[in-house]
A = this chain, B = another copy of it.
Amino acid sequence: MPVNKIVLIGAGNVATQIGKTLHRKGVKILQVMSRTQKSAENLASMIGAEAISDFSEINRDADLYLISVTDDAISEIISKISPLHGIVAHTSGAVEMDILKGSSKKFGVFYPLQTFSKFKETDFSSIPVCTEASDDETKLALADFASKISNDIRFIDSYQRSQIHLAAVFVNNFTNYMFAIGNKILEKNNIPFDILYPLINETVEKIKHQNPHQAQTGPAIRNDKKVISKHIQMLHDEPKMQKLYQLISEQISKSANPKNK
């Protein structure tokens, strides 16, 4: 059974980007439901949908109910909208599929592995969509639906998805924090951050051709104690950065040679 009519539950970054992309692709979005009527209306008005904020008004004829809310809010929503006839799916990286049991006979996961901004348009076509489903028919329906917006559909179970989500925290959230620190160091010294862009670009290009473990360079992997202690000294008025510098350098250094101290 093809998925043609959608209800979006949630109006945050993920719902907004999915909604706008589906709308561009001509997929019919019946409703946008959000805790507050206003945020439902914001998104609904952009994608030709009805805005609702009351569970009782939910359209029971949709083929797919896509829940894009904070992890903690999923159970409560399920308890209020069940039972439904269409497929019920959430978009979370961290939440098990089985939380949706009882919401409908057909349920699953539609997890786009990307970081979304509310205002920056997302090109979905190359974003890996991790799908999982209660049964084979739903699996095919979700994959078919996903293929309307992405060329990279993957079948990933809840356990693997939680591992991917954990890895994503390191490569996205924590990497961004490294960028924030680099930015702060330069700002303090009135050096424009863009001087680091070519280096950052190459850092990313390298690991597409080489295992990141092998691509590691810098004072820590060389166990260059002179540079390391100079840097730690330079960070004396930034104890948080200093502690982080020390811990990561230690770990990198040990990864090269377990005997390094």
Residues in chain B near residue A255, CB distance under 8 A: 180
CB pair A204–B206 under 8 Å, yes or no, is: no
Asked whether A212 and B180 contact (CB < 8 A) given A167-B196, A171-B203, A191-B163, the answer is yes
Asked if A244 is at the interface of the complex by the 8 Å CB criterion, the answer is yes
Name A154's closest neighbour in chain B (CB-CB): B195
* Total residues of chain A contacting the partner, CB 8 A: 89
Residues in chain B near residue A163, CB distance under 8 A: 185-186, 188-189, 191, 234
Asked if A126 is at the interface of the complex by the 8 Å CB criterion, the answer is yes
Residues in chain B near residue A215, CB distance under 8 A: 117, 176, 179
Name A72's closest neighbour in chain B (CB-CB): B226
Residues in chain B near residue A218, CB distance under 8 A: 169, 172-173
Residue of A169, A183, A202, A240 contacting most chain B CB atoms (<10 Å) = A169
Residues in chain B near residue A178, CB distance under 8 A: 170-171, 174-175, 178
Residues of A whose CB lies within 8 Å of any CB of B are: 70-72, 94, 113-115, 117, 120, 126-128, 152, 154, 156, 159-160, 162-164, 166-186, 188-189, 191, 193-204, 206-213, 215-222, 224, 226-227, 230-231, 234-235, 240, 243-245, 247-248, 251-252, 254-255
